[in-house]
Structure 1
Amino acid sequence: MQDIILKPLNLRAERSLALTAFTVLGMVLAIASLLPFETIVSRFASVLGIGLVYVAGGLPAALRALTALWTERILDIDLLMVVAALAAAAVGAPFEGAVLLTLFSLSTTLEERAFGRARRAIEALMALRPETALRKAPDGTFEEVPAALLRVGDIVVLRPGVRVPADGTVLSGHGALDEASITGESMPVSKNPGAPVFEATVNLDGVLEVKVTKALAESTVARMIALVTQAQAAKAPSEQFSAWFGQRYTIAVLTGAVLAFAAFYWLGRDWDEALYRSATLLVAASPCAIVISVPAAILSALSAAARGGVLFKGGAAIETLAAVDIFAFDKTGTLTTGRAAVTGVVALDGNQTRFLSLLAGLEAQSEHHSADAIRREVSTRGIAFAHVDDVVNRPSAGIIGRHAEGQLWAGNPRLAEQMGASLDYPDLISLSETSQTIIYLGLGSKVLGAVSIADQLRPTSARALSALTQRGIKRIVMMTGDRRLVALRIGGELGLKADSIYADMLPEDKVHMVGKLASEGKVAFVGDGVNDAAALARADVGIAMGAAGSDVALQAADVALLSEDMERLAAAHDLAKKTASIIRQNLAFAIGAMIVLVTSGLFFDLPLPLAVIGHEGGTVLVVLNGLRLLTASSVRSG
């Protein structure tokens, strides 16, 4: 796969660089004609240099122009440059034509270097993939095999310092992984049994056994490569306009040059001077800078964003995100971690250790998300789980089991009522008045206490929403399927007003609300990509959180945040606005420069060399202005 994708790109880039080098060498030789003491050697060097420039710089452009004309019926910029250079040579100014071809060759190479960022991104991603993996055989032994042979269900061992060969789940072991290459996270991420790991991340310490959960073709890196490739191919509206404009304007310029030649000749200029003036006008009116203005900025922004763990599905997503003035957020898994945690413990007899031991022993045999939160809390405290047998689930109520002391149960008030237990204790009443989930534990008809459980706010969510507000976002709303009391608690922690919080929503309700918000402005919807796929697709820009672990997110969203750092979202919005600003700067400069040059060519005696320098210099400047985005660090949170 790597050779198929990269070989043609690398060969083309190397060929372009070599031709530009020969063109520049020819120009250096051509300058010999400007030496104060002209000799036979200097004249020969000048002629040789000009010839080399026309061959190395002009012939490839002519071939590209003829290919475009023959296969796609398009008159492009290459044809303009070749015609202008030949016209300059025809009027006795081959040196000026050589300067034009040299600068055009240099600007073309510079453009390809900007475009090559996407190619180098693919190279970098592929280079991250390990060649081999240590696979566990059925008999318990280990064998080193090519990573490409791994299949779903295989178990691999990760030693310290090795890269993860495939997406998977930790079966055993504890360690820290460097996920910067995938999510952009600067700090190592702790991994315990049950945690996901992503291909090409680095195991820093510990020995982990990992079960492969995705084939190589469906891995995180494979999806990132597909996104980078798609993003390069997907053109923004501004890019499409530039291409459309460039093709039609080329025809207009060629026609205008012919008409200008006829007009100059009719006004009394001789043949050579009329041809010289029309060649100058041809160069001055060429729209190279206009055509390259947008893609130079877009591709640079795509590259800068990818380095920070943000993947845009093409330039259209960047341009639309820059225009967004309303953000709608899903709550669970987006603004919050989506992982419940124990927030309070009440043991009526004051013995929290015994209480938590009994509760964990019962919940150890439950698959409910609250049970997982309890197990993690008890394990963190180092408390042993009590032994509980004959565990049975009571749907919509809780769980019951047999303990040495009697019948043990845990659940909601409905289960407590079924067991004949009273919850009329001040501490329990106080706990139940919170907006959190309460789980009561009892032994027979006696309640022992309760724990409160709640989804936790992401540490970066409040800062991200504040940053968006500071950047001029006029409205931020939160949507959730949770109870309104829970939604108000989370929204209050985020600084959202009650009228910006929508609770008890089904997926179709979120789609309807996004449509309603769209009537007020451009809307971005941010979700986890599972229950929110329809809303992600309905919004002007769909943004998926934590896309490194969500297939639905990558399919439904326009933007994927590989990291779960919410501040990357505000930074991505900032990058999109900077990109839109640079595009406006480029277009304004390119159009302004062209108007000045064309006016000078029509009504003043603009020298051809000055037209060449003005035209190609402008092209180089807009490319360099676009490349400024490559140094953007805004996508990385502080």
Structure 2
Amino acid sequence: MGRRELPVLGGGGVSVPAGARRTVLRVEGMDCAACAASVERSVGRLPGVYRATVSFAAGRLEAEHEASVSREALEGAVREAGYGVAVPRREEREPLWRERRVVLTGVAALLFAAGAALQLAGGPGVAWISLYAAAIAAGGVPIFRAAFAALRSRHMDMNVLMSTAVVGAVGIGAWGEAALVVVLFAAGGALQVYAVERTRGAVRALARLVPEEVTVLRGGMELRVPAGEVAVGEVLVVRPGERFAVDGEVLEGRTTVDESPVTGESAPVEKGPGGAVLSGSLNGAGAVLVRAVRRAEDSTLQRISRLVEEAQAGKAPAERFVDRFARVYTPLVVAGAFAVAAVPPLLGGDFGTWFYRGLALLVVACPCSLVISTPVTIVSGIGAAARRGVLVKGGEALEAAGNLRALLLDKTGTLTEGRPVLERVVALAGDREEAVVLAAALERRSEHPLAHAILSAAGERELPEVAGFRSIPGRGAEGEVRGRRYLVGSPALFAERGIPLEAAGPALREVERMGETPVVLGDGEGPVAVFGLADAVRPEAPEAIRALREAGVEEIVMLTGDAEAPARRVADLLDIDYRARLLPEEKVAAVREHVERRGAAGMAGDGVNDAPALAAATVGFAMGAAGSDVALEVADVALMRDDLRSLAGAVRLSRAAERTIKQNIFASILIKGLFVALAPFGFVTLWLAVLADMGTSIGVTLNGLRLFSGRRRP
């Protein structure tokens, strides 16, 4: 049986059978990365568990284990660590005020307030001490339970530090401060958990957009069946106002579809026979018959939802740096706290005073705000991107996109529409309108893309009849119009027929100079008109290029296999650099060259033809990835909507995430450093240390979540 090496907590490796079972649970109640580590250790101790990985940011436990390990055993280990397990398919969270943790915190706050009032009023000591003790018991239950589980796992987390501070305060008779520490810590933790869970829940809600039941045609009858039972090839009836449960193809009917849950595009998209529809999209005013092309669990929306959750669970480079810093910071400060509490009394200092200062420093040792400063921003950024139709596959990709200074773009289908349009008409005899009509009449029966461009330019004009039509493969077409024989095609066709093109020389040179493809209309005597056709630049491309430059991308380069002239034409229109006549392997080399020279470079393409170049870039962007399996797999950032502006939006959002991460880390280190410096000198009380710790934690959390709650931009 095949085996693979997987990392485990604390280093080393464990041999995991390739056929090991994998279970994913949603963990509730975690308010810092240290909580995640406690859950990892608790689950990892179970016999038969090969590996357990918990992401605080995503609220997600992934365990690989033997078949004998049940889901219930894994859930029991999570609860033993002091945390909850979410119920599958729960539609929405309980209101904040009904959650057990919040209720206990509220009770603790009332008991503390009653004790403080009684103490200030000069009441009997036993009465207000009892109220403080009750407050500590009510608010501290989840804290003490989590601390006990952490100690059993030989792990020192914030719950252990806070519990130690509370017990120490009680030991020196500071009942009021001990109770206030519990209330502040519990309240801050509850608010933090609720804020992060709102973001997690909003992303998970993507998957719940798919209806649980659908209407299918079986044996000529309409039947209601669970969405999960729909097989590929079955025909579904989707009525106005219903959501599509699977990816499919419209067989019959016309409608408009709101695809915003998948692509972020708010404008309804018209769909008719042959049109592709995506799961989670909302049907408009028309009823349609749809043939399923994927099962519900393999649909685009479900795959996006899974990929987003997996991406949120990954660690970004900044997060790994913070974790390394915290592993050094916490033991040093804890050792400092014990030194402050023990050394001065040995030298004659007052034990109570220095013990209290040591407790304050112990609270400051908790690195919670620093450790969560990055993951909450990553979760928020990836979630915000998903709501805009951009799938960012991990914190590393989000950070890389936020640091880009150079971006390379494929030409055809990315900067251009990938179809020719008529750019110029030079009439050599007669007028331009007549030349377009004549050429369109001859091209009417042709299937060549250039012919379609001329026909599109003719629009609704009435075209004359063509007698004796003959298609000339690879060259053009000929026929008789109004009693006169005409040819339309490449200059090579006229050369083969011996028809002189001297009169068209200046026009042909201008067309070629502008990077356009020449098409000549003529008769037996010579040319009548010259047409210049070119790949149409996307209408949104100039705006997107401006937005990318405004976002801080300094170098934008177009890569194409096209000839020099058409490449230069597009580059000049967009005011960007270009490299032409590139073979696929030369595109990859160009990307690697920019990565080496710039340190980081992005590449944007369709995710299929450009897969090797995307893989060579620091971060690869796949355009129009909705419904594309290949694009979803190969890209670091998959843009569901085929719109260049979403590329600029992805870079802009990544820049904002990068700024927020730096702000959070700077604020956390500054505040922690200040309180570490002040605590040994008696300037920091226990409650102030807790308030600073939880206040900073809540502050960095809310700052990170601003990305998710911000206004949508394309």
TM-score normalised by structure 1 residue count? 0.85
Residues 130-279 of structure 1 mapped to structure 2, 5 A cutoff: 130-136=211-217, 143-279=223-359
Instruction: Assess, with a 3 A threshold, how the Cα gap between structure 1 residues 609 and 160 changes in structure 2: closer, same or farther.
Output: closer
CA deviation vs aligned residue, 1:222-270 (integer Å, no higher than 9, x gap): 2210221112111111112223333443333333222222113213234
Q: 1:80, 1:250 within 8 Å by CA — same for their partners in 2?
A: no
Q: 2:189, 2:694 within 8 Å by CA — same for their partners in 1?
A: no
CA deviation vs aligned residue, 1:344-374 (integer Å, no higher than 9, x gap): 67898837557535523232xxxx6556656
Q: 2:450, 2:533 within 8 Å by CA — same for their partners in 1?
A: yes
- 1:356 matched residue in structure 2: 440
Q: Which has the higher mean CA deviation after the structures are superposed, 568-577 or 478-487? A: 568-577
Partners of 2:463 and 2:235 lie apart in 1 by 29
- CA drift of 1:194 comes to 4.0
- 1:557 matched residue in structure 2: 635
Partners of 1:54 and 1:401 lie apart in 2 by 96
Please say if 1:588 is aligned against 2:588: no
Residues 38-53 of structure 1 mapped to structure 2, 5 A cutoff: 38-39=122-123, 44=127, 47-48=130-131, 50-53=133-136
Instruction: Assess, with a 3 A threshold, how the Cα gap between structure 1 residues 4 and 326 changes in structure 2: closer, same or farther.
Output: closer
Structure 1 residue corresponding to 2:544, chosen from 464, 467, 474: 464
Q: Which has the higher mean CA deviation after the structures are superposed, 328-337 or 412-421? A: 412-421
Partner SS for 1:361? coil
- CA drift of 1:589 comes to 1.9
Q: 2:333, 2:362 within 8 Å by CA — same for their partners in 1?
A: yes
Please say if 1:32 is aligned against 2:114: yes
- 1:492 matched residue in structure 2: 572
- 1:520 matched residue in structure 2: 597
Structure 1 residue corresponding to 2:584, chosen from 483, 487, 507: 507
Aligned AA (1:160): P
- CA drift of 1:221 comes to 0.2
- 2:140 matched residue in structure 1: 58
CA deviation vs aligned residue, 1:18-51 (integer Å, no higher than 9, x gap): 21321232122121122243557x9657634643
Q: 1:6, 1:119 within 8 Å by CA — same for their partners in 2?
A: no
Instruction: Assess, with a 3 A threshold, how the Cα gap between structure 1 residues 382 and 567 changes in structure 2: closer, same or farther.
Output: same
Partners of 2:461 and 2:226 lie apart in 1 by 40
- CA drift of 1:513 comes to 0.6
Partners of 1:369 and 1:229 lie apart in 2 by 42
- CA drift of 1:320 comes to 1.6
Q: 1:118, 1:228 within 8 Å by CA — same for their partners in 2?
A: no
Partners of 1:376 and 1:424 lie apart in 2 by 29
- CA drift of 1:114 comes to 4.1
Aligned AA (1:64): A
CA deviation vs aligned residue, 1:79-130 (integer Å, no higher than 9, x gap): 2112112211211123222222222223323332343245313432122113
Instruction: Assess, with a 3 A threshold, how the Cα gap between structure 1 residues 374 and 351 changes in structure 2: closer, same or farther.
Output: closer
Residues 330-341 of structure 1 mapped to structure 2, 5 A cutoff: 330-341=410-421
Partner SS for 2:638? strand
Instruction: Assess, with a 3 A threshold, how the Cα gap between structure 1 residues 356 and 472 changes in structure 2: closer, same or farther.
Output: same
- CA drift of 1:616 comes to 2.2
Bigger relative contact order (CA 8 A; separation at least 6) = 1
- The structure carrying a bigger helix percent of its residues is 1
Partner SS for 2:445? helix
Q: 2:421, 2:453 within 8 Å by CA — same for their partners in 1?
A: yes
- 1:88 matched residue in structure 2: 169
Q: Which has the higher mean CA deviation after the structures are superposed, 11-20 or 569-578? A: 11-20
Instruction: Assess, with a 3 A threshold, how the Cα gap between structure 1 residues 559 and 465 changes in structure 2: closer, same or farther.
Output: same
CA deviation vs aligned residue, 1:133-184 (integer Å, no higher than 9, x gap): 4445576x65554433333333444443332232233445443322222211
Q: 2:417, 2:537 within 8 Å by CA — same for their partners in 1?
A: yes
- CA drift of 1:393 comes to 8.7
- 1:77 matched residue in structure 2: 158
- CA drift of 1:477 comes to 0.6
Partner SS for 2:86? helix
- CA drift of 1:481 comes to 1.5
Instruction: Assess, with a 3 A threshold, how the Cα gap between structure 1 residues 231 and 287 changes in structure 2: closer, same or farther.
Output: same
Structure 1 residue corresponding to 2:188, chosen from 107, 114, 117: 107
Partners of 2:162 and 2:527 lie apart in 1 by 87
Partner SS for 2:603? strand
- 2:105 matched residue in structure 1: 23
User: Identity of aligned pairs, percent?
Assistant: 35
Partner SS for 2:444? helix
Aligned AA (1:88): A
- CA drift of 1:537 comes to 1.4
Please say if 1:119 is aligned against 2:203: no
Q: 2:115, 2:132 within 8 Å by CA — same for their partners in 1?
A: no
Partners of 1:514 and 1:68 lie apart in 2 by 47
Partners of 1:567 and 1:279 lie apart in 2 by 53
User: For the aligned residues, what is the CA RMSD?
Assistant: 3.9
Q: 2:250, 2:274 within 8 Å by CA — same for their partners in 1?
A: yes
- 2:693 matched residue in structure 1: 615
Residues 424-435 of structure 1 mapped to structure 2, 5 A cutoff: 426=504, 429=508, 433=512, 435=515
Q: 1:170, 1:195 within 8 Å by CA — same for their partners in 2?
A: yes
Partners of 1:121 and 1:478 lie apart in 2 by 37
Partners of 2:538 and 2:412 lie apart in 1 by 10
Partner SS for 2:653? helix
Residues 257-406 of structure 1 mapped to structure 2, 5 A cutoff: 257-343=337-423, 350=434, 355-363=439-447, 369-370=449-450, 381=460, 394=473, 397=475
Partners of 2:550 and 2:530 lie apart in 1 by 42
Q: Which has the higher mean CA deviation after the structures are superposed, 291-300 or 350-359? A: 350-359
Partner SS for 1:456? strand
Partners of 1:245 and 1:82 lie apart in 2 by 23
Instruction: Assess, with a 3 A threshold, how the Cα gap between structure 1 residues 274 and 432 changes in structure 2: closer, same or farther.
Output: closer
Partner SS for 2:206? helix
Unaligned runs of 5+ in 1: none
Q: 2:129, 2:175 within 8 Å by CA — same for their partners in 1?
A: no
Partners of 2:502 and 2:192 lie apart in 1 by 74
Q: Which has the higher mean CA deviation after the structures are superposed, 380-389 or 460-469? A: 380-389
Partners of 1:571 and 1:614 lie apart in 2 by 35
Instruction: Assess, with a 3 A threshold, how the Cα gap between structure 1 residues 603 and 519 changes in structure 2: closer, same or farther.
Output: same
- 2:70 matched residue in structure 1: none
Partners of 2:464 and 2:297 lie apart in 1 by 42
Unaligned runs of 5+ in 2: 1-22, 28-84
Q: Which has the higher mean CA deviation after the structures are superposed, 7-16 or 299-308? A: 7-16
Q: Which has the higher mean CA deviation after the structures are superposed, 435-444 or 250-259? A: 435-444
Partners of 1:265 and 1:219 lie apart in 2 by 67
Instruction: Assess, with a 3 A threshold, how the Cα gap between structure 1 residues 269 and 486 changes in structure 2: closer, same or farther.
Output: same
CA deviation vs aligned residue, 1:434-475 (integer Å, no higher than 9, x gap): 533456689999999786543222222111211222333221
Aligned AA (1:503): A
Partner SS for 1:547? coil
